[in-house]
Chain A
């Protein structure tokens, strides 16, 4: 269970939000909406522990995420605006090194299979710089397939994806929710994600 109480965020001299709170149960999904610059990304970064909150606290299973440290990071998967891919490396190498950095070993054959599932069959050995934006995003999204994390924090996951991939991703997320996982996501597109209890949090500037 993820609980946020009384969160506040200040960027420069602007208060983006204050007194923000929510509770996310197992199988729950939080959809963060709001105009550009309303602090969606800032909230997501605070939730995964990258930036400190100006005020308030975040608890995972009753303990603050600062106290949990590594334990919390094991349960979180964050997908930001950046794909965290190396242009010079192939899709397969990217997938394997990303996994290794997260402490998960993925063998070559498994990597090929995972890339096939994100729709990149036959492009495993191509340096990522030759892939299109959408294909790069797919390589980044392959992380959802091997990560043992139970809390997915996805910042605009549908950007650059074609409609088939959007449907595919929505299914992956609902599968994760049905399996007892949680997801926090932002999206400007209306995407139907089945399964789980949905909440919406609207940030207003």
Chain B
């Protein structure tokens, strides 16, 4: 009597866009959650120069490692919330029942997670790198490595978040599951900056990091989807 006149189906990318828009809108309404991981990153990175003192040589050496480890931890802070809210309020059930492929919806959530938790780290990293006396070129490489690396962190983290969904004490388990998966990203990401500082050129490390990203972009949504289906059974 009524409904068919009011609604038209939207396309595949309409659904993807809707998930991203929704999650960004939610992030906007809960600003504190977003800012927590960003401030965590800023504070952890800033603590090292304060603790070590003005030894520029030493700071330059540890900079890539410290920045990357802090980025890993900051990205992980927000991971437990990736699916938890949708799980507890029943939205995830509805996503599973949506005619749109679940992989697509999950991809949308991962994109939104990166925009909220990953991109701000990339943008603020050069500023923090200044504390470590990094050359402008190295700062550029650092940004580039984080730009390729943080989406990788979101993708791998989504698998862990889906696997630990609904598990008691899932937060710690999530760290134990995801941090080992982050190791390749850390090695090649921090390695790129180190290689650039020592004059070897970062191209090799960055291409390996990009290859990992391509691989994860293909497999992670699929693995996450499988884990979510199990969690909701």
User: Which residues of A line the B interface, CB within 8 A?
Assistant: 48-52, 70, 73-74, 76, 78, 80-89, 93, 97-106, 110, 113-114, 127, 145-148, 175, 179
Interface residues of B in 12-39 (CB under 8 A from A): 14-15, 18-19, 21-22, 25-26, 29-30
Residues of A with C-beta under 8 A to B96: 50
Q: Please report the C-alpha to C-alpha distance between residue A52 and residue B233 in the assembled complex, in whole angstroms.
A: 7
Asked whether B95 is an interface residue with its Cβ less than 8 Å from the other chain, the reply is yes
Stretch of B98-106, B144-152, B173-181, B189-197 that contacts chain A = B98-106
Binds A, one of B2-10, B42-50, B118-126, B131-139: B2-10
B93 touches A84 (CB 8 A): yes
Q: A49-B97, A84-B90, A106-B6 given. 11 additional CB < 8 A pairs?
A: A51-B232, A78-B97, A82-B89, A82-B90, A84-B89, A89-B26, A97-B21, A103-B100, A106-B7, A110-B6, A113-B6
Chain A's nearest CB lies how many Å from the CB of B34? 13
Asked whether, in the complex, the Cβ of A93 is within 8 Å of the Cβ of B25, the reply is yes
18 contacts between A and B (CB under 8 A): A48-B97, A51-B233, A73-B97, A80-B90, A82-B89, A82-B93, A83-B89, A86-B26, A88-B26, A93-B25, A98-B94, A100-B15, A100-B22, A102-B99, A104-B8, A114-B6, A148-B4, A148-B9
Inter-subunit contact B232/A50 (CB<8 Å): yes
B1 close to A (CB within 8 Å): yes
Query: Which residues of B144-180 are within 8 A (CB) of A?
Result: none
Q: How far is the CB of B88 from chain A (nearest CB, A)?
A: 8
Complex Cα distance, B3 from A179, in Å, reads 12
Residue of A nearest to B4 (CB): A148
Residues of chain B within 8 A (CB-CB) of A49 are 97
Within 8 A of A (CB), among B77-92: 85, 88-91
A97-B18, A106-B7, A179-B1 known; A50-B26 Cβ under 8 A: no
Q: Which residues from chain B sit less than 8 Å from chain A, CB to CB?
A: 1-4, 6-10, 14-15, 18-19, 21-22, 25-26, 29-30, 85, 88-91, 93-101, 105, 232-233
Q: Is the CB of B94 within 8 A of A83?
A: no
Within 8 Å by CB of A101, from B3, B29, B88, B95, lies: B95
Give, as a whole number of angstroms, the nearest-CB distance from B86 to chain A. Answer: 9
B-side binding surface: helix, strand, loop or mixed? Answer: helix
B7 in contact with A110 (CB, 8 Å): yes
Specify which chain B residues have a CB less than 8 angstroms from the CB of A113 in the assembled complex: 6
Which residues of A lie under 8 Å from residue B105 when comparing CB positions? 101
Instruction: Identify A145's interface contact among B2, B10, B14, B22, CB under 8 A.
Output: B2
| Residue numbers in A under 8 Å from B91 (CB-CB) | 84-86, 101
The reply to whether A70 and B99 form a contact with Cβ atoms under 8 Å apart is yes
Decide if B6 touches A81 in the complex (CB within 8 Å): no
CB distance from A81 to the nearest CB of B (A): 7
- Beyond A80-B93, A86-B89, whether A101 also contacts B98 by CB under 8 A is yes
Closest 4 CB pairs of A and B: A82-B90, A100-B18, A88-B29, A84-B90
Chain B nearest Cβ from A69, distance in angstroms: 9
Report the bound CA distance from A114 to B99 in whole Å: 22
Chain A residues whose CB sits within 8 angstroms of the CB of B14 once the complex forms: 100, 103, 105
Q: Chain B contacts of A110 at CB under 8 A?
A: 6-7
- Nearest Cβ distance between residue A186 and chain B, in whole angstroms? 16
Are the CB atoms of B26 and A99 closer together than 8 Å?
Answer: no
Closest chain A residue, CB of each to CB of B105: A101
Inter-chain CA distance A70–B6, complex, in Å, is: 22
In the complex, residue of chain B having the shortest beta-carbon distance to the beta carbon of A70: B99
